[in-house]
Amino acid sequence: MRKLYSLLVLLFCSNLLAAQKIDLDKYPIKVSYLQLPTNPFPEDFTTFSTKFIANGINLNDAGYTNRESDLESIYFKISGFKRVATGGHLSIKVQIDGYDMGKLEVVKKEDKSKDKDGKETISISYKLTFKYLVPMKYTITDLNGVIVKDGSLTEGASAKTYESSSYSTSTALENYWKENGTTIKRGLLGSFISEKLSTFEGRLNYEIGYVPRTYNDVLWSTDSPKHPENEQFKKVCSDVKTAMDEMTSARPLSLEKVKPAIEYFEGILVKYAKDEKPERKLRYAAWFNMATIYYWLEDFDNAIRCCDGLVANDYDKSDAKDIKLNSERMKKILSGSIKSAHYVRDVTNAVAPPLTPFQVEEENTRLGALRDKAIQEQATRDVAVSQQAVARSGMVDLDKTVNAIGGIIGKIGSKKTAIVFDKPLADLIISMNESLVNYQLISKSLSINGCSINSSLFMKTQVESFQKQFNSVGGSLDKQSSNKMKSLLNVYGDLTSKDVMAALMITSNPVKMQSLLVEPNKILKDMTYDCLDLVLNKNQDKKNILMSLAEVQKMLNYGTYGFFKEENCNNQAYELAKEGFSKLKAVAGSSKLSEELIGDFNQLISVYSPLFQSDKNLIKEPTNTALVESINKNNYPSFVLKLLQTQ
């Protein structure tokens, strides 16, 4: 009987212990938030611009065909900021200082092997190896040019090592490098630059960006089917997970949906309050889950309270450390102007602030450097061609070479082969002149809402047409004129790349736009007039006539064909055409052309005259529209061709 009693007691105690035993499992949840900057700028800083400078390296050799423009079109993307062409709240300048390439070394390797008979065989292979590095540094400035951060993108970085495949002979290796060396070098330099800039982009997003993030976090749930809390505990964790799934970087966690879970976990602390391991283990899960919930509710005081409770509970208290540190950090961050890590930072309509005097000066300097660089590059190419020609003729003379260099840089009006003009060449000159007129129209349209936007879009089309005509017939010009025009096209290409013109026009600040357009206008005018001086042998009368004609005809085209959707823009184009016509008549009265050309010129003016007899809206006059079209196709190009052909 005593044995039976003992057995019953033992069974009762075993069942009691089994019922109270508790196992925990990690319960995965998904959380979303807006990663806030570690080093934030004022919240109204919403735009930035980038600028790349390459010294001692031709970026074309690194695979960037359009050099700095290619990099500026790719880098950088900073979440929560809008990139603008120029004049942002922040300006990020990256300078690439050449490249360091170590000595090319041929590594010879001998591999010995023996066959089954013990005969030794030696195989020799060759491969090429060298080290390379592209030094890069950055500067971030504010509106007034004050440096807010700078540093190196490659400081402490080890040079990378290139190793070729192995070849059985040194001749094979040499031939491989001759055929592929340039391509390999381009790929290596391009990859190095891209890697460092991408890493820097990540740093920028971490330090100043507002990046939407989603990642997996955890709760602790029960996994003890015989425990009385098992099913309810798991259900509450599931409810929290459902509420967390609805959280996004823009939408916070709903207190209403997780409040029942908090109340349940608080109840666990009271219900299982004994200082026994199973109960401490269950309280640990309750404290941890509440700390996690409060953290994502951004109730950091309660999250810290729960972390302290978890430590006092003395079961895996180290788990409280990270939650507490993050809560204290976020509490400090959200004590400023930003009150939540769940909101939308919309910069879609962000605009750059008005340009400061520093930014205007910096942009003018940049554009001037572009012009000088284009001219110098062309001069360098011309010097090379000149030297090759002298060498081939066997008459290398140092004095002549020095004189050639001086002449190329400033040889407007120098002696050259006469250009034989035909209609395609005349059309090219017309396209060049109308490109300048189109660019000038942008600044003239600033006073009328929307007109400058359309003008900037027309500009890109006009330059593309100019480039196409040059590619077709530019080779018929003499070398000097062709190179001058090529330099001009390079500047146009830079000004219209990345939709720079359109980006300028979306700002609501005409003063800013005007300041940005002043220097490019001057550069383009000077370069266009240089080209005209070359093809016209510095004939001032012809140059004035051609430019006035371009202004009249281009503005008439815009005014009569209805290129602009806004009627006031078409009317403005007509008014500008009238101004150009007045200049044209003034030139006619003072020019020193031949009698025949003066007669043809006056005849052309008489054809234009009916279009300027009243202030009628030309768009509504079909007769006038037909006349403008006829002049554009016949009278205008015919006269330009004759003007160019007449010595």
**CATH code, 489:** 1.20.1630
List, in sequence order, the alpha helices (H) in 127-254.
170-208, 230-245
Are 480 and 610 part of one and the same domain? yes
The answer to whether position 392 is within a domain reads no
The answer to whether position 346 is within a domain reads no
Residues of the chain with pLDDT under 50: 1-19, 390-416, 498-499, 502-503, 505-508, 563
Helix or strand (DSSP H, E) at 155: none
If you count them, how many residues does the chain have?
A: 647
Query: How far is 383 from 391, CA to CA, in rounded Å?
Result: 12
Q: Which of 295, 312, 333 is the last residue of a domain?
A: 333
The answer to whether position 194 is within a domain reads yes
Are 474 and 549 part of one and the same domain? yes
Q: Which of 177, 209, 241 is the last residue of a domain?
A: 209
Are 74 and 135 part of one and the same domain? yes
β-strands 47-55, 82-83 pairing: parallel
Residue 271's pLDDT is: 92
Range of the domain at 142: 47-209
Are 163 and 237 part of one and the same domain? no
125, 109 contact by CB (below 8 A)? yes
Are 193 and 263 part of one and the same domain? no
Are 562 and 465 part of one and the same domain? yes
Residue 46's pLDDT is: 94
The answer to whether position 192 is within a domain reads yes
Are 480 and 596 part of one and the same domain? yes
Are 133 and 200 part of one and the same domain? yes
The answer to whether position 445 is within a domain reads yes
Radius of gyration of the chain, Cα coordinates, nearest whole angstrom = 38
Query: How far is 39 from 204, CA to CA, in rounded Å?
Result: 10
Are 466 and 539 part of one and the same domain? yes
**Domains: count for the chain:** 3
The SS3 of residue 486 is helix
Q: Which of 276, 306, 333 is the last residue of a domain?
A: 333
* Distance (Å) of CA 61 to CA 154, 262, 398, 591: 20, 62, 31, 50
Residue 82's pLDDT is: 93
pTM above 0.85, yes or no: no
HSE-up (13 A, CA, CB side) for residue 45: 18
Are 272 and 200 part of one and the same domain? no
Residue 509's pLDDT is: 56
* Distance (Å) of CA 466 to CA 435, 455, 477, 500, 510: 7, 16, 15, 18, 28
The answer to whether position 70 is within a domain reads yes
Are 515 and 596 part of one and the same domain? yes
Q: Phi/psi of residue 253, each to 5°? A: -70, 135
**Max Cα distance, the chain (Å):** 145
DSSP labels, 497-553: GGGHHHHHHTSS-HHHHHHHHHHHHHHHHHHHHHHHHHHHTT-HHHHHHHHHHHHHH
Neighbours of 306 (CB within 10 A): 29
Give the sign of the dihedral formed by CA 400, CA 403, CA 405, CA 408. Answer: negative
Query: How far is 219 from 241, CA to CA, in rounded Å?
Result: 9
The answer to whether position 100 is within a domain reads yes
The answer to whether position 13 is within a domain reads no
Helix or strand (DSSP H, E) at 97: strand 90-97
Which residue is associated with the tokens 């290796």?
Answer: 173
Give the CATH number for residue 132: 3.30.160
Are 69 and 126 part of one and the same domain? yes
Intra-chain end-to-end CA distance of the chain, in Å: 138
Residue 370's pLDDT is: 60
Instruction: Indicate the DSSP class of residue 166.
Output: P
User: Is-cis flag, bond preceding 45, omega within 30?
Assistant: no
